[in-house]
């Protein structure tokens, strides 16, 4: 099995190292000091489960790799539309693209069934620009429940969690999903193949849609947001509105808001990815987390006033950061 990781940051390098450990033919695509460090020293993983180093092929030129069986996308979703020159050399007729992204994916309504089947979500696929680069039929969904961060160039700190749930847009248990799942498990990771991954998407989104923008606006950690009464109330309201949209689309998350908050509180003083991006001066990945849900609320005629308010403020922050 030949795998390319496009955007081998903290999550991508961690998965690539695990697959390499399982014997897969893995290639990491990165740039800058991180790439240089991986080339010289391999991917160094520091984890409560045990430290290890994986000497994986790393490059900034996908033409060196050629077509692969699977591309794991570790890029931010707002980079998808522009990734054509990087991903095209990696594709053959049946290459699967596994998008390890937060939020609503560009393929969400692909083979969804029902009245919205095939509908494009403008906020995540503006003008079809993402679908033109990443054909929805190639997509395998992936919801990441692992927390990692780059401790330094080439050094991945694994904080917690090893689950990467995957699934087909059409809800089948396909051979290509099962093959990838087997390789991930051989590498020591959990990779269940879910019949309807959309439920997992909304479960993960329940936290991302609320904690991520609020953390950036308040410059606060998970613990701080949970412990501040007023902020906690806003987050609860955002979660309730999000659940209403999910239910309007036929999804059952199967977890209470209180349980979701308790899980977030246990994470402690963790900074969300949006807060980390803000502090690093990077673009904020809010379209797939918040804007898309507001668009889906409009499609399903669902009232989400708090989401609209937080979006208006965080959108201004995103524009100021990008300026």
Catalytic residues: 204
- Tell me the sheet residues that pair with 25: 2
Q: Which residues neighbour 283 within 8 Å (Cβ) at sequence distance 6 or greater?
A: 76, 78, 277, 318, 321, 322
- C-alpha 246/C-alpha 50 separation (Å) is 38
Supply 275's token pair: 């807060």
For residues 148 and 158, the answer to whether their CB atoms sit within 8 Å is yes
* Three-state SS sequence of 106-171: CCCCCCCCCCCCCCCCCCCCHHHHHHHHCCHHHEEEEEECCEEEEEECCEEEEEECCEEEEECCCC
Strand order in the sheet with 147-152: 52-54, 43-46, 155-160, 147-152
- Tell me the sheet residues that pair with 190: 163
């Amino acid at each position: 099995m030949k795998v390319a990781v496009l955007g081998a940051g903290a999550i991508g390098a961690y998965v690539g190292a695990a697959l390499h450990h399982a014997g897969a033919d893995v290639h990491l695509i990165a740039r800058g000091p991180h790439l240089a460090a991986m080339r010289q020293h391999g991917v160094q993983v520091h984890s409560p489960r045990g430290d290890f180093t994986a000497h994986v092929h790393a490059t900034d030129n996908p033409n060196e790799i050629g077509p692969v069986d699977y591309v794991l996308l570790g890029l931010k979703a707002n980079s998808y539309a522009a990734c054509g020159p990087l991903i095209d050399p990696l594709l053959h007729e049946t290459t699967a693209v596994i998008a390890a992204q937060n939020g609503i994916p560009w393929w969400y309504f692909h083979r969804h069934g029902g009245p919205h089947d095939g509908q494009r979500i403008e906020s995540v696929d503006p003008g079809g620009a993402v679908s033109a680069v990443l054909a929805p039929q190639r997509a395998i969904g992936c919801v990441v429940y692992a927390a990692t961060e780059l401790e330094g160039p080439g050094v991945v700190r694994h904080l917690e969690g090893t689950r990467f749930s995957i699934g087909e847009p059409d809800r089948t248990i396909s051979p290509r999903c099962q093959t990838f799942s087997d390789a991930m498990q051989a590498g020591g990771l959990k990779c269940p193949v879910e019949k309807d991954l959309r439920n997992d998407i909304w479960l993960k989104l329940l936290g991302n849609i609320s904690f991520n923008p609020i953390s950036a606006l308040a410059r606060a950690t998970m613990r701080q947001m949970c412990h501040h009464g007023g902020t906690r109330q806003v987050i609860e309201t955002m979660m309730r509105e999000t659940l209403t949209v999910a239910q309007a689309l036929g999804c059952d998350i199967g977890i209470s808001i209180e349980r979701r908050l308790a899980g977030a509180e246990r994470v402690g003083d963790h900074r969300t990815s949006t807060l980390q991006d803000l502090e690093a001066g990077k673009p904020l990945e809010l379209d797939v987390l918040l804007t898309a849900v507001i668009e889906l609320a409009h499609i399903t005629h669902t009232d989400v006033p708090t989401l609209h308010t937080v979006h208006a403020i965080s959108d201004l922050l995103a524009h100021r950061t990008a300026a």
